[in-house]
Structure 1
């Protein structure tokens, strides 16, 4: 066999082997059309590009488990976001009476932006000075000193929501991300976000609203919502 024919044969075999390998797992990203369908009345602040840019910084989000699990996780995240913001309408917490209550002065760094500066902002309504500090450290932004970045920069805002979803247990026992990846059910994501108030019969209407949105969004992605929907 000539050298040229041998090289050609090796290249062909490598091509077959490469083709036979399973494609690397890819993060499931919703389309612009799906985003518009889910949030038809959203505030223009909450951009599709802001969300997809933020997702690129959280590689494990909607990127673990089967294709069904990936889609279920994205549906679960967006359903909770819908509930927290009234359909991506509200950028900041609507109950202004709560604003002074989110400063924990026991933290060594205190509340440099002011006693009333750490109220809910963004898709999961980030609140408390310690959450602004931790989220800011994680994403590389000084949110403790400039908390209003969460209400003025769409990508940063989405990143804080994904930070909470992927890294924080909240009042639950696991992150919302792990709840979906490990198939513990949508109800566990509610517990991780607001379980101390809503779960165990605390606010059944709120839980029902979250569940209904999750079921709707799972349908948009063409997957079953799975079990254990409530908390």
Structure 2
């Protein structure tokens, strides 16, 4: 009888250890991380939600809608970018703006401006909204999207609405001229890229024939977003720094305005337009749960 009681007690203690009751019990070892080794994408092959592929450019994509092998960098509705950092977990840390928040920011957006197109474009600029503290990352995302919202009427307009301006964006003094036509370099995309020299520079940086085919910016969402991020990340425009540097270097939202349209809006040029950008930035930072910081005006 005594032996039976001892056996029962041992069994109870063993069960307690399995359930993790004792404070000193060691936590279970984590499962080994999955290797980042997914098959190459194949045109014409059936893909179902959750399937992950390696595209020809070395980036990974995950199927969000079943499709018969559509190209991941063209058919953005069917695919989302997938990050293999952190042992294969999708997008560790994540973009600081979720798709739900993106939709809240742009409730009337044109379907052309897809969230997946933005995510695809971000793979070309990994430092975007991924530099510095979480606060800085959120502030930069809010700043970029606030300026984009202002430029496009809330992501409604794909091309510049005032067609009278179209012939003005050709600088014939550039050695490459305007091969797509004098009136071909009007504003397009989220940042309203304009002028032949900007299309040339953006095309060279992105490996795209934008000088000869500027219409790519209004026909491909990922290309459109890439041109916006190219300008934001690398161009100072009429300012002294890029929008990215303004936000990650602690210079404030006002300097990002200066880099985009400071020649016309800053220093009292058009305070109403500046206020419109600042108000949108404040709304977006509030949505992302972060302070807008200082130096909001230019």
TM-score > 0.5 by shorter chain: yes
Higher helix share: 1
1:104/1:27 Cα in 2 relative to 1: closer, same or farther (>3 Å)?
farther
Distance 1:147 1:29 in 2: 30
Structure 1 gap ranges (5+): 1-14, 17-22
Q: Work out which structure has the larger RCO, using CA pairs closer than 8 Å and 6 or more positions apart in sequence.
A: 1
Q: Deviation of residue 29 (structure 1)?
A: 3.7
Match of 1:123 among 162, 182, 190: 190
Distance 1:215 1:169 in 2: 23
Aligned-CA RMSD value: 1.9
Q: Deviation of residue 48 (structure 1)?
A: 0.7
SS of equivalent to 1:62: coil
Q: CA-to-partner distance for each residue in 1:20-59, whole Å, 9 max, x for gaps?
A: xxx8x95634111001000000001001100011112101
Verify: 1:48 aligned to 2:93, yes or no: no
- Aligned residue pairs: how many? 213
Match of 1:110 in 2: 177
Match of 1:81 among 127, 148, 155: 148
Structure 2 gap ranges (5+): 1-28, 31-85, 87-91
1:205/1:180 Cα in 2 relative to 1: closer, same or farther (>3 Å)?
same
The aligned runs of 1:1-231 (5 Å cut-off) are 28-231=95-298
**Structure-1-length-normalised TM-score:** 0.89
**Structure-2-length-normalised TM-score:** 0.69
SS of equivalent to 1:99: helix
1:29–1:52 CA contact under 8 A, matched in 2: no
**Runs of 4+ that moved beyond 2 A:** 25-29
